[in-house]
Amino acid sequence: MPEGSAVETTGESTAVRLSRMARRVPFTVGIVATMVALGVLTQSLWSPLQDSDLLDTVAYGLPALQDGRWWTPVSGAFFALVPAQYLPVAGGALLLLGWSEVRLGTRRVAVASVTGHLVGVLGASFVLLVLSRTAWAWADRTAAVLDVGFSAGALAAVAAASATLGPPWRGRLRLVLTLYGGLALLYVGLLWDLEHLLAILAGLGLGPVLLGRRPRLDLPTFSRHEWRIIASTLFVVSAVVRILLYFTPSDGPLGAATADSDAMTVLVGAAISLALAWGLGRGSRRTWQVAGALATLSVLVGLTALVLELLAPDRLDAQGDVVSSVPQLVVDSLLWLLQLVVLVAGRAAFQARSGRRRRADLAAGASDRDTAVALLKTHGGTTMSWMGTWPDNHWFIHRDPDGSPLGYVAFQVHRGTAIALGDPVAADAASRAAVLQAFVDEEETHGLKVCFFSVTPEVVGWGRRHGRRDVLVAEEAIIDLPDLEFKGRSWQSVRTALNRATKDGITYREGHLAEMPRGLLSQVRAISELWVSDKGLPEMGFTLGGVDEALDPDTVVGLAVDEDMTVHGVTSWLPVHSPGGEVRGWTLDVMRRLPDGFRPVTEFLIASACLSFRDEGAQLVSLSGAPLAHSGDGSAERAALERLLDQLGEAMEPLYGFRSLDSFKQKFRPRHEPVSLVFSDEAALPRIGLALTSAYLPGASLRDLARAGLASRRDDQVSL
């Protein structure tokens, strides 16, 4: 083909793509085209509008409305004050309005942006009309300002379009928008900052309505990782604000906002904020304590300054420096208050110890964990044993007189109760019984109640011989692999999932998550955070792991990946060791999927893993016992605990689907093994129930469960 023809074809292709894009966003193109056309006709595209007599005719604001120029909220939307603003204004409109129009559609984005623009412009004029009648200097000054542009409408459109997103991106976008609007108004306080905040709030309320849903004010749920990011980001923002105010002081609603008096003070303050941001991003508990104390002190200082200003202004008048710093103290205290709220609300995300104590704890914990892992690989364990090696556990190591380890019990302490997780690990039944008794003696000596959760009939028998009680809490679903073949009518749904995956280009990728390409790991994290955000409760723990646990080098993950390297689902598998260290089976832990992705991805992942493990020589796969999905025997002495477990399970069912998950596993025709809770006596049941709740959901109460459960049933609503 001649070179000219190739160029012509490429040009036609580009033109076609641009034309197709323009047809998708006609409202956006119309706004920008009108803006450019009017800029040319009025010459404001190259001559500053703010220096022209035309400004008073087209610009909106309280003075324009008071003078009867009622058309200005419409006419002013298509101009910029100076030529240099046209590029960012037009570019911003293309980006923000274009994205919103793709998400919402043309009619909805038109309603959202026009409504948001009018709410921002008219709402700001009304607010300033009311406040200008007071002695508030900022209101008097801002009420006399005129403005142009459609930025408020564009931000309102983005806020409304956030309703089309799923968690966690819906919550993230809304958080960014409200933080921008609030901080800009607080620290800068120009007319358009007030318009932007009002428009954003209008868009947040309008979005669900445009989609046929009822708006509902509800705080998003964040994972531990996201709480750390939010807290860290706020302290970075604090450092940036300090530096910006040093170079560009502003005069916001609460008075002059300026940086500290000299560059060194500014740099030290910014450095402290950045250091705290770094520690919070790592989840450091020590940093959390320091940041919380500093935030509390700063809020109290600002509150004290405000009270003195209101109640004893005469005393402050004699201190000129103090009077001039009061507005800055109040402004800063509001940002510190926001930081304090985040630190308190996300406190469970900041548990990593720091400094010498952390190193000592890590050394001791690592030593105990290393001992536990070595014992597990030497003596073997149950399908639950690897969960006991996770870092949130403690390990009771039982030793012989010469100090050699004989066995161990993995446990956690909640509500004054030591909850042992799974069977003890030791060489034989007699040794395991000795470990059990030594563990009970040790913990009861320290005043703790003791129970054994998710244990096999061996521990149940030991408990009964020692006068303890037990209750069935789950039935573990186990698939025997040596003779597994997905043949016959009963396996039809599994075969369908495998065949459809082949047809749709979905492949199974197995390996260690830490060794996966960065792009795949990032997608796994995103899927996990999306799943957490959609539940209304924090990540569960205890016997339920997440991405952090899946990164363990002994854990295997299975990914469903399409031809574009998009991850549609992820499972993680924990090793089941036989004596001598050989892996004889695998236990399912993480099982999460991409919303709106490959529909039968879960069946595909489990079936593919079973075939892979069978070919590697594994003997079994455990699909785990669904927590709190149990059936009791109805005896009176166990009824109290069973009722509590039932209530907890029913409250969490809409959120985590344990009972539904238990039903799903039946597709794989597993055999079932009983999983029990062993406890001392009925008097310990209330404490054990609360301890189990704390173990699975640290920081969540039964009221939180009930509230989140009700919210999850409102399928016709989208949270704000």
**pLDDT tier, 715 (very low <50, low <70, confident <90, very high otherwise):** very low
What's residue 312's pLDDT? 59
Q: Which helix (H) or strand (E) holds 586?
A: strand 583-593
Q: Are 146 and 60 in contact (CB under 8 A)?
A: yes
Q: Which residue has the higher pLDDT, 2 or 384?
A: 384
The candidate with the shortest Cα–Cα distance to 542, out of 669, 692, 409, 408, is 692
Q: What is the mean pLDDT of residues 685-699?
A: 80
Tokens standing for residue 207: 């979005």
Distance between CA 288 and CA 269 in Å, rounded?
17
Q: Which residues contact 335 (CB under 8 A, 6 or more apart)?
A: 183, 186, 234, 237, 238, 241
What's residue 358's pLDDT? 47
In degrees rounded to 5, what are phi and psi of residue 456?
A: -90, 175
Tell whether the model's pLDDT for residue 104 goes beyond 90: yes
Q: Are 62 and 121 in contact (CB under 8 A)?
A: no
The candidate with the shortest Cα–Cα distance to 193, out of 123, 135, 290, 255, is 123
What's residue 701's pLDDT? 56
What's residue 186's pLDDT? 84
For tokens 């003791």, name the residue. Answer: 450
Please give the angle made by the CA atoms of 500, 504 and 505, to the nearest 5 degrees. 115
What's residue 340's pLDDT? 93
Q: Are 506 and 598 in contact (CB under 8 A)?
A: yes
Average per-residue pLDDT in the chain? 83
Tell whether the model's pLDDT for residue 416 goes beyond 80: yes
Mean pLDDT is lowest, of 145-154, 217-226, 531-540, 624-633, for 624-633
Q: Which helix (H) or strand (E) holds 503?
A: helix 492-504
Euclidean distance between the first and the last CA atom of the chain, given in angstroms as a whole number: 56
Per-residue pLDDT reduced to its tens digit, 232-249:
989 998 888 888 877 776
What's residue 256's pLDDT? 59
Q: Are 685 and 644 in contact (CB under 8 A)?
A: yes
Q: Are 239 and 270 in contact (CB under 8 A)?
A: yes
Enter the pTM of the model.
Answer: 0.63
Identify any residues that bridge with 671 across adjacent strands, giving them in sequence order.
478
Q: What is the mean pLDDT of residues 56-62?
A: 94
% of the chain beyond a pLDDT of 90: 49
Mean pLDDT is lowest, of 438-447, 595-604, 649-658, for 649-658
What's residue 641's pLDDT? 58
Tell whether the model's pLDDT for residue 363 goes beyond 70: no
Tell whether the model's pLDDT for residue 686 goes beyond 70: yes
Per-residue pLDDT reduced to its tens digit, 192-226:
999 999 999 999 999 999 998 877 766 666 767 77
Q: What is the mean pLDDT of residues 569-575?
A: 96
Q: Are 351 and 283 in contact (CB under 8 A)?
A: yes
Q: What is the mean pLDDT of residues 549-558?
A: 95
Tokens standing for residue 676: 């029990």
Distance between CA 37 and CA 686 in Å, rounded?
73
Can you say whether the dihedral through the CA atoms of 486, 491, 494, 495 is positive or negative?
A: positive
**pLDDT tier, 633 (very low <50, low <70, confident <90, very high otherwise):** very low
Q: What is the mean pLDDT of residues 368-382?
A: 94
What's residue 7's pLDDT? 40
Say which CATH superfamily domain 359-474 falls into: Gcn5-related N-acetyltransferase (GNAT) (3.40.630.30)
**pLDDT tier, 554 (very low <50, low <70, confident <90, very high otherwise):** very high
What's residue 183's pLDDT? 87
Tell whether the model's pLDDT for residue 719 goes beyond 50: no
Report how far Cα 153 is from the mean position of its chain's Cα atoms.
28
**pLDDT tier, 381 (very low <50, low <70, confident <90, very high otherwise):** very high
Q: Are 201 and 705 in contact (CB under 8 A)?
A: no
Q: Which residue has the higher pLDDT, 636 or 22?
A: 22
Tokens standing for residue 400: 């012989």
Could you state, in order of their start, the residue ranges of all structural domains in the chain?
16-221, 224-242+262-352, 359-474
Q: Which residues contact 183 (CB under 8 A, 6 or more apart)?
A: 237, 241, 335
**pLDDT tier, 290 (very low <50, low <70, confident <90, very high otherwise):** very high
Domains 16-221 and 359-474 share a fold: no
Please give the angle made by the CA atoms of 214, 162 and 112, to the nearest 5 degrees. 75
Q: What is the mean pLDDT of residues 370-399?
A: 94
Tell whether the model's pLDDT for residue 261 goes beyond 60: no
In degrees rounded to 5, what are phi and psi of residue 398?
A: -90, 130
* Fold designation for 16-221: Rhomboid-like fold (1.20.1540)
Q: What per-residue string of b and e applies to 461-471 under the rule 16 or more CB within 10 Å gives b?
A: ebbeeeebbbb
**pLDDT tier, 713 (very low <50, low <70, confident <90, very high otherwise):** very low
Tokens standing for residue 17: 């793509």
Identify any residues that bridge with 689 across adjacent strands, giving them in sequence order.
none
Identify any residues that bridge with 408 across adjacent strands, giving them in sequence order.
397, 425
In degrees rounded to 5, what are phi and psi of residue 512?
A: -90, 130
**pLDDT tier, 540 (very low <50, low <70, confident <90, very high otherwise):** confident
Per-residue pLDDT reduced to its tens digit, 127-137:
999 988 877 78
Tell whether the model's pLDDT for residue 145 goes beyond 90: yes
What's residue 409's pLDDT? 96
What's residue 283's pLDDT? 82
What's residue 473's pLDDT? 84
What's residue 649's pLDDT? 58
Mean pLDDT is lowest, of 107-116, 667-676, 688-697, for 688-697
**Is the previous residue joined to 168 through a cis bond, with omega within 30 degrees of 0?**
yes
Per-residue pLDDT reduced to its tens digit, 473-525:
888 899 999 989 988 888 999 999 999 999 999 999 999 999 999 999 999 99
Tell whether the model's pLDDT for residue 631 goes beyond 50: no
Tokens standing for residue 643: 């009722």
Task: Give the CA diameter of the chain.
Answer: 97
What's residue 8's pLDDT? 41
- Using DSSP bridges, classify how beta strands 469-480 and 671-679 pair: parallel, antiparallel or unpaired: antiparallel
What's residue 696's pLDDT? 81
Per-residue pLDDT reduced to its tens digit, 300-313:
888 887 777 666 55
Q: What per-residue string of b and e applies to 291-315 under the rule 16 or more CB within 10 Å gives b?
A: bbebbeebbeebeebbebbeeeeee
Q: Which residues contact 567 (CB under 8 A, 6 or more apart)?
A: 520, 523, 524, 527, 559, 560, 561, 594
Q: Which residue has the higher pLDDT, 444 or 632?
A: 444
Q: Which residues contact 173 (CB under 8 A, 6 or more apart)?
A: 158, 162, 165
**pLDDT tier, 648 (very low <50, low <70, confident <90, very high otherwise):** low
